[in-house]
Amino acid sequence: MTSELAKGLDGILVTESEMSYVDGEIGRLIYRGFDIEDLAEQATYEEVVYLLWYGDLPSEAELEHFSSRLAEERVLHQDVLATLERLAEADEEPMSALRTATSMLSAYDPEASYTTGEIDLSREKGMRILAKVPTILASFHAYREGREPLDPDPSRSLAGDFLRMLSGESGSSLAGETFDMSLILHADHGMNASTFTSIVIGSTMADLYASVTGGIGALSGPLHGGANQEVIRMFRDLEDSEHGPVEWVKEMQKRGERVPGFGHRVYRVKDPRAHILEAKAVELAEEGAEGRYIGYAQAIEEYLTESGLVEKGIAPNVDFYSGVVYDQLGIPFDLYTPIFAMSRTAGWIGHVIEYQEDNRLIRPRARYVGPKDVEFVPIEQR
Ligand code: ACO
């Protein structure tokens, strides 16, 4: 047994996986061997979820069956809806509302509350969870806007139906395609804090709902999924100030603050997903989408590149451009991180299923650096 301390588990291999691979040196991301650029351009989110969970691209018939099973599972139990209404009244954060409602879904699942590790049963349960996350978010948003949630429409794709339930409108096909693509980009990303959380929970053979709920909790922090909201928060503050974007970032650097959306534990160059989303943001702007932030993002990236930060390996990550695109699509700002969770649910479930096929309880150790041999003093003598 090694006694070396690996704080933050940097570079530590915890398992083998065939699902996705990140080459941080050249900025490459693949799912099951396929480049993310090809999947983003040519596949649908449902197709990518199938690929991640089953290991192969589906045939037309397989995709049809898988998509319609997912579509059937979108409806929420009325008790979950009632809870979402209460949470909206209490002004709960959307990410926390999603965490609570996802955990609650298990009460209405006909399967047992622990996992047997039987792969088909786990995929079934995975479908029930994945399909309901968009309905949870859209319904929560409807309640906090003071309207009744819309029922899911099984004839639409998961991405398109989410946008419809969220805004109450059908939306353009470009918006639907862009959002679907963004879900693909966020569906999986090798090992990371939230996926690790999910498999730690899964390694105890706890229920899949517990794994996904844990994943949502881990993703919520600003060092992980919360960064996409931090980026837009920065752009909003910038907008309200008298500064230009470069001046703003220079001031941040003087104060020793980190630029949200920059830096990554694995990527040493610009995240490939940031390249794709930046191009999409430009396309949306050319198509007339309202959105103020693409100019800020590009100016900040250009300055940080010239100033040498990017060369040091602190380059734009996916979050630097995802918020820009969501803003153009008119998605409310505080749903950006929950949307990341909606997409990554595919990765969490896939990894838990894969891990449980050859399960070993994850049980690391901590180096004890506290005192030993302290004599106990009874309370009345302290
Ligand atoms: N802006 C400015 N400097 C930075 C940034 C940044 N965003 N990120 C890292 N650095 C600097 C650090 O200050 C440190 O400098 P030093 O060596 O002079 O002290 C150096 O780069 C290394 O930083 P670490 O914290 O050791 O890098 P780590 O790998 O732990 O951090 C992390 C990765 C947490 C993502 C970090 O880059 C960060 O906080 N970024 C901003 C938040 C963010 O965008 N998170 C999203 C990550 S992607 C995702 O989860 C989807």
pLDDT in tens, 336-358: 999 999 999 999 999 999 999 99
Distance CA 100, CA 106 (A): 11
* C-alpha 17 – ligand 1 centre gap (Å): 26
- Percentage of the chain exceeding pLDDT 70: 99
> Which residue is catalytic, options 186, 189, 224, 351?
224
Does residue 264 have an active-site annotation?
yes
Q: Which CATH architecture has domain 227-328?
A: Orthogonal Bundle (1.10)
**Domain locations in the chain?**
28-222+334-356, 227-328
Other C-beta atoms lying within 10 Å of the C-beta of residue 106: 18
Q: pLDDT 10s digit of each residue in the chain, 382 long?
A: 667 899 999 889 999 999 999 999 999 999 999 999 999 999 999 999 999 999 999 999 999 999 999 999 999 999 999 999 999 999 999 999 999 999 999 999 987 666 777 888 999 999 999 999 999 999 999 999 999 999 999 999 999 999 999 998 887 888 899 999 999 999 999 999 999 999 999 999 999 999 999 999 999 998 888 888 899 999 999 999 989 999 999 999 999 999 999 999 899 999 999 999 999 999 999 988 777 799 999 999 999 999 999 889 999 999 999 999 999 999 999 999 999 999 999 999 999 999 999 999 999 999 999 999 999 999 999 9
pLDDT in tens, 60-104: 999 999 999 999 999 999 999 999 999 999 999 999 999 999 999
Residue nearest to ligand 1 atom 21, measured at CA: 314
* C-alpha 116 – ligand 1 centre gap (Å): 39
> Which residue is catalytic, options 189, 319, 327, 351?
319
Does residue 141 have an active-site annotation?
no
Residue nearest to ligand 1 atom 32, measured at CA: 264
- CA torsion sign, 205 to 353 to 159 to 292? positive
Could you please state the CATH topology (level 3) that the domain comprising 28-222+334-356 is classified under.
Citrate Synthase; domain 1 (1.10.580)
> Which residue is catalytic, options 264, 271, 327, 351?
264
Q: Which residues have any ligand 1 atom within 6 Å of their CB?
A: 223-225, 227, 258-265, 314, 317-319
The residue whose CB lies within 8 Å of the most ligand 1 atoms, and thus the one to mutate among 20, 258, 344, is 258
3-state helix/strand/coil string of 274-340: HHHHHHHHHHHHHCCCCCCHHHHHHHHHHHHHHCCCCCCCCCECHHHHHHHHHHHCCCCHHHHHHHH
* C-alpha 309 – ligand 1 centre gap (Å): 11
